[in-house]
Amino acid sequence: MTDEDAAADEATARRMWNDAADAFNEFVETGLDYYRTDVHGPALLEACGDVRGQRVLDLGCGQGWFSRQLATAGGQVTGIDWSTGMIEHARRIEEARHFQAQRDMPGGVTYDLLDATELAARFEPGTFDLVTACMSLMDMPRPRAVLAAAARLAPRIVFSIPNPVTDAPHRVWKRDAAGHKLALEIDRYFETTSGVMQWDMKRLVHHFATVQYRYTLEQWSQMLESAGLMIARLREPRPSEAMIATRPELGDAARLPYFLIIDARVSA
Ligand SMILES: C[S@@+](CC[C@H](N)C(=O)[O-])C[C@H]1O[C@@H](n2cnc3c(N)ncnc32)[C@H](O)[C@@H]1O
């Protein structure tokens, strides 16, 4: 998909994220997004390394879950998102933490309403030490432009996305007669397009829908290359045996790579 194609449905994507803000916030705050709390969230934080005292820009921060993780780890964080609903939740949660004196963050966090494609107009080059994006770049209509802008703001970007290998357009668990999962059937890997993702998992109290974009592993690598970024490390986080013993629902993510973390550096 070209940036021009993607930009065509940009307004729809933004509206859908805005409409989804309350339900998404509920999903995160109730702890029902256990892949985030137990698997890819901690792995992304670990991939960021020691953020104490670092100026961090968190792209597509949503209601601020990962921005707060970074601030708790000592980062001076700016979270940006293009959804007013998301930013309102992020600010409300932050204010409540101040009010209740529950602020266990050595760092700090502020939130800005901003489309990530407008980074260059808002921030001076070199403003940050690190750019992060927790499960948000694949939700952005123009990740290539965002990565290029981010590479001018900081020497390093660390982000998580659904692993393109398993997050294919055709993705069906084959089951035996008793309903046990035998194998994940995956097809149409090289099909890249935007689509509406239905957030209709049983554990969600309120269902919602958002626009998501699909790129192959090679396309992510090419986007980074064209932004002048080099992949320093890749991680495919998965739950440990102990985690699965406590929460068996995580088991699938130990069989197949569900998540991908990329640590990329601006090339010299
Ligand atoms: C799956 S949510 C992840 C939110 C947050 N990072 C987290 O981990 O909870 C994706 C977020 O990306 C935001 N987003 C998508 N496109 C954006 C853009 N062009 N600029 C800023 N935010 C964007 C959406 O509004 C949404 O809040």
Query: Could you report the per-residue pLDDT of 57-82, keeping only the tens digit for each?
Result: 999 999 999 999 999 999 999 999 99
- Using 50, 70 and 90 to split pLDDT, how confident is the model at 130? very high
Give the confidence band of 103 by pLDDT, cuts at 50, 70, 90. Answer: low
Q: What is the pTM of this model?
A: 0.95
Distance of CA 119 from the midpoint of ligand 1 (Å):
14
The C-alpha angle 77, 237, 32, rounded to 5 degrees, equals: 70
3-class secondary-structure state, position 173: strand
Q: Is the pLDDT of residue 41 over 80?
A: yes
Is residue 84 within a helix (H) or strand (E), and if so which, with residue range? Answer: helix 84-99
Q: Is 82 in the pocket of ligand 1 (CB under 6 A)?
A: yes
CA count, 13 A, side-chain hemisphere, 139 = 27
The atom number, within ligand 1, closest to the CA of 117 reads 19
Tracing tokens 């935007």 back to the chain, one arrives at 194
pLDDT at 116: 98
Average pLDDT, the chain: 93
State yes or no: pLDDT of 129 exceeds 70: yes
pLDDT value for 5: 55
* pLDDT tens digits for range 219-238: 999 999 999 999 999 999 99
Map tokens 């080099």 to a residue: 230
Does pLDDT of 2 surpass 70? no
Question: For the residues 108-137, what does the mean pLDDT come to?
Answer: 97
Q: What is the distance between the alpha carbons of residues 27 and 44, in angstroms, rounded to a whole number? A: 19
- Ligand 1 center to 167 CA (angstroms): 18
Q: Whose CA is nearest to atom 26 of ligand 1?
A: 62
259 lines ligand 1 (CB under 6 A): no
What per-residue confidence (pLDDT) applies to 107?
77
Q: Which two tokens stand for residue 210?
A: 């958002």
- How much is the pLDDT for 8? 56
Supply the pLDDT for residue 4: 55
Q: In testing the pocket of ligand 1, which one of 57, 69, 81, 167 has its CB within 8 Å of the most ligand atoms?
A: 81
User: What pLDDT does residue 104 have?
Assistant: 63
Please check whether residue 63 is in contact with residue 71, taking contact to mean a CB–CB distance below 8 angstroms.
no
Q: Which two tokens stand for residue 76?
A: 């001076």
For residue 193, which phi and psi values (nearest 5 degrees)? -160, 175
- Closest Cα partner for 252 from 167, 134, 131, 189? 167
Query: Residue 142: its pLDDT value, please?
Result: 95
CA of 130 to the centre of ligand 1 (A): 17
**What tokens were used for 40?**
């890819």
User: Which atom of ligand 1 is nearest to 67's Cα?
Assistant: 6
> Three-state DSSP class for 231?
strand
Distance CA 149, CA 81 (A): 15
Q: Is 160 in the pocket of ligand 1 (CB under 6 A)?
A: no
Residue nearest to atom 4 of ligand 1 (CA): 62
Residues 241-253 pLDDT 10s: 999 999 999 999 9
Helix (H) / strand (E) containing 120? helix 119-122
At 106, the pLDDT band (50, 70, 90 cuts) reads confident
Instruction: Indicate if the pLDDT at residue 90 is higher than 90.
Output: yes
